Amino acid sequence: MTGTGELVRLGRRTAKGVAGYDLAALLVGSEGTLGVITEVTVRLRPTRAPERTVAGYFDSIVDAGRAVDAVAAAGITPSALELIDRQCLLAVDAWKDMGLSVDANVVLLGRIDTPGSLGDDEAATMRTAFDKSGASWSAQSSDQAEADALFAARRLAYPALERLGPVLTEDICVPIRAVPEMLSRIESIATQWDTRIANIAHAGDGNLHPLLIAPHDDDAARQRAQAAFDDIIDAALNLGGTVSGEHGIGLLKMGGLVKELPPAVLDMPHNIKRALDPTNILNPGKVFSRTI
């Protein structure tokens, strides 16, 4: 539904198509500012081949970041490469007692969906990358139940942390080469602002989710957490990254968006917004801090 009340269908039913501008791509991620999406049709793909899981334990988060860079440098594109840090492991254990924090400070979970012996080779290469980057332990899981349990711990990390207090969720994304440096800067920022920062990450994409615990009942701590949040954004931009890898801008990252995009680039979405929603009725006041 457009800003002028027209019901339109965008996108295409064909595998390829270049008839005019890619309006579906423009609407995806526009956060309701260019139209109200009332119906979505998705393309189905064949089921993936069974995946291999490789786990690595690390003493330091920067070593785990180096392993992520080493995997990318080896030319492998994992179907998943997730990072869970000590704060998250402790929170999961405090809630579900999975015993992970006994053995590991930081866990990397990699998945390879390349089929056949090439997939075996890639899994072995990933494990080597983990070991060479200082893993204290690594293994390719031969047991699907075990592999699923590790990924379950990953999924539990966020709700486990929320039990500890209000969480300010970051969503930065940096070039993969910059992952170790970014993780190191997050550690420094946590120390500098005396703020508890846990990390979960879609590390293989360079998409990091530092989670800042900002207690309700402590105004000074909340302000320090906000300062740390802003510093993390500055560090990500400084390393060639973005303020949002997947969550979007909303209200929380409106300031970050202005830092990321130069004024001439910001003019373009502003002008598009004005063209497609002339009366500014579509999610007004979000994404763009400047008045449309």
Rounded to a whole number of angstroms, the minimum distance from the CB of residue 44 to a second copy is: 10
Rounded to a whole number of angstroms, the minimum distance from the CB of residue 278 to a second copy is: 8
Comparison of 7 and 152: residue with beta carbon closer to a second copy? 7
Task: Quote the DSSP letter at residue 242.
Answer: B
Comparison of 56 and 256: residue with beta carbon closer to a second copy? 256
Comparison of 2 and 226: residue with beta carbon closer to a second copy? 2
Query: How far apart, in whole angstroms, are the C-alpha atoms of residue 85 and residue 160?
Result: 13
* Side chain identity, residue 188: S
Name the residue among 254, 160, 279, 143 with its Cα closest to residue 211: 160
Rounded to a whole number of angstroms, the minimum distance from the CB of residue 108 to a second copy is: 17
Comparison of 103 and 121: residue with beta carbon closer to a second copy? 121
Comparison of 2 and 280: residue with beta carbon closer to a second copy? 2
Name the residue among 232, 230, 231, 228 with its Cα closest to residue 254: 230
Rounded to a whole number of angstroms, the minimum distance from the CB of residue 176 to a second copy is: 7
Query: How far apart, in whole angstroms, are the C-alpha atoms of residue 1 and residue 215?
Result: 40
Are β-strands 80-84 and 167-169 bridged in parallel, bridged antiparallel, or unpaired? unpaired
Rounded to a whole number of angstroms, the minimum distance from the CB of residue 222 to a second copy is: 25
Task: Quote the DSSP letter at residue 74.
Answer: T
Per-residue tokens: 283: 């999610």
